């Protein structure tokens, strides 16, 4: 039994390649494990608000010192963290926008990476005062980009999408990650066709591998 949190971040509702990968992933997963729970959070269509001065002040207050308006400003953050904490697998289906993650997805990370909820901070730890409070989660990135070569060679220096998601997810308890990426969308040529076909074909084996790991770890 696995709990999956699926985040979708494309601003496009139709023709979205990353949403298509997400659908395939969810369908493949449920075909193997129909009773597993997939919680979906669509930040592309319903972007979380940017955090504010009041949000920051509220998270740094001890819980008992928060007034009604602090609690109000943290309501969505509490809800999003409530979806995240029980998840074994965090699936993030996202486009690359301007060489990084969409602002809506960054807003989701800003809402869920929270002191004393998802990470602790202690200067006694020396140069690494931040530690995640959760562990053992797996991150699956299902991504789409217009350009190509972002993951390996020719344009990897422009790729601020995958490294940023991986580093930020560490603070949520992610310890391993998998990537399925469609590239060359803007070219629409055979490189795009090949990339799309390869990514689509990678979903089923990935799901089987993750299922095998889940089964092994619960033995
Ligand atoms: C606002 C915007 C910014 C984009 N920036 C980039 C970029 O920096 N690099 C890139 O390779 N593709 C970029 N693209 C192309 C998208 O990553 C590509 O169209 C992808 O398929 C979008 O994901 P989706 O199909 O799930 O909506 C951008 C597209 C949009 C709409």
> Is the CB of residue 10 below 6 angstroms from any atom belonging to ligand 1?
yes
- Going from the Cα of 130 to the center of ligand 1, the distance in angstroms, rounded, reads 32
Q: Which letter does DSSP use for residue 53 in this model? A: H
What confidence score (pLDDT) does residue 1 get? 86
Q: Which atom of ligand 1 is nearest to the CA of 182?
A: 21
CA 150/CA 58 separation, integer angstroms:
38
- The architecture of the domain spanning 3-217 is 3-Layer(aba) Sandwich (3.40)
Q: State residue 153's pLDDT score.
A: 72
Is residue 144 within 8 A of residue 181, CB to CB? The reply is yes
Nearest CA to ligand 1 atom 12: 146
Residue carrying structure tokens 């990339």: 195
Whose C-alpha lies nearest to ligand 1, atom 22? Answer: 95
pLDDT for res 219 = 54
Q: Distance between CA atoms of 126 and 130, rounded to whole angstroms?
A: 10
Ligand 1 pocket test: pick from 145, 155, 159, 192 the residue with the most ligand atoms within 8 Å of its Cβ: 145
Taking the C-alpha atoms of residue 194 and residue 189, their distance in angstroms, rounded to an integer, is 9
Residues 80, 69: Cα–Cα separation, whole Å: 18
Averaged pLDDT of the chain: 96
Tens digit of each residue's pLDDT (9 = 90 or more) over 157-194? 999 999 999 999 999 999 999 999 999 999 999 999 99
Q: What is the pLDDT of residue 142?
A: 98
CA distances from 87 to 39, 104, 174, 183, 218 (A): 9, 20, 10, 28, 15
Q: From the CB of 95, is ligand 1 less than 6 Å away?
A: yes
Per the model's pLDDT, the better-predicted residue between 150 and 24 turns out to be 24
pLDDT mean over 101-110: 98
Could you state, in order of their start, the residue ranges of all structural domains in the chain? 3-217
Whole-number pLDDT of residue 218:
60
How far is it, in rounded angstroms, from Cα 100 to Cα 162? 8
More confident residue, 77 or 150: 77
> What's the confidence (pLDDT) of residue 195?
97
In angstroms, how far is CA 114 from the centroid of its own chain? 15
**pLDDT above 90: percentage of residues in the chain:** 93
Average pLDDT for 42-55: 98
Q: What percent of the chain has pLDDT over 70?
A: 98
| Residue 215: pLDDT band with limits 50, 70, 90 | confident
Residue 46 has pLDDT above 70, yes or no: yes
Spacing, Cα 75 to ligand 1 middle (Å): 31
Please check the confidence at residue 28 and state whether its pLDDT lies above 60.
yes
Q: How far is the CA of 25 from the centre of ligand 1 (A)?
A: 20
pLDDT-derived band at 36 (thresholds 50, 70, 90) equals: very high
């Amino acid at each position: 039994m696995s709990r999956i949190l699926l985040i979708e971040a494309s601003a496009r509702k139709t023709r979205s390649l990353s949403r298509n990968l997400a659908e395939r992933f969810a369908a493949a997963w449920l075909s193997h494990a129909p009773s597993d729970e997939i919680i979906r959070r669509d930040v592309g269509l319903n972007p979380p608000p940017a955090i504010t001065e009041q949000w920051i002040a509220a998270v740094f207050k001890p819980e008992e010192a928060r007034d009604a308006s602090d609690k109000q400003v943290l309501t969505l953050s509490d809800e999003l963290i409530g979806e995240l904490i029980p998840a074994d697998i965090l699936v993030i289906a996202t486009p690359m926008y301007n060489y990084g993650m969409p602002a809506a997805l960054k807003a989701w990370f800003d809402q869920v990476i929270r002191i004393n909820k998802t990470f602790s901070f202690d200067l006694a730890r020396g140069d690494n005062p931040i530690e995640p409070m959760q562990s053992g989660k797996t991150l699956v990135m299902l991504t789409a980009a217009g350009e190509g070569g972002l993951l390996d060679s020719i344009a990897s220096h422009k790729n601020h999408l995958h490294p940023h998601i991986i580093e930020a997810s560490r603070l949520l308890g992610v310890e391993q990650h998998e990537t399925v990426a469609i590239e060359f969308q803007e070219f629409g040529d055979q490189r795009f066709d090949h990339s799309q076909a390869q990514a689509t074909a990678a979903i089923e084996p990935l799901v089987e591998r993750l299922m095998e790991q889940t089964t092994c770890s619960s033995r």
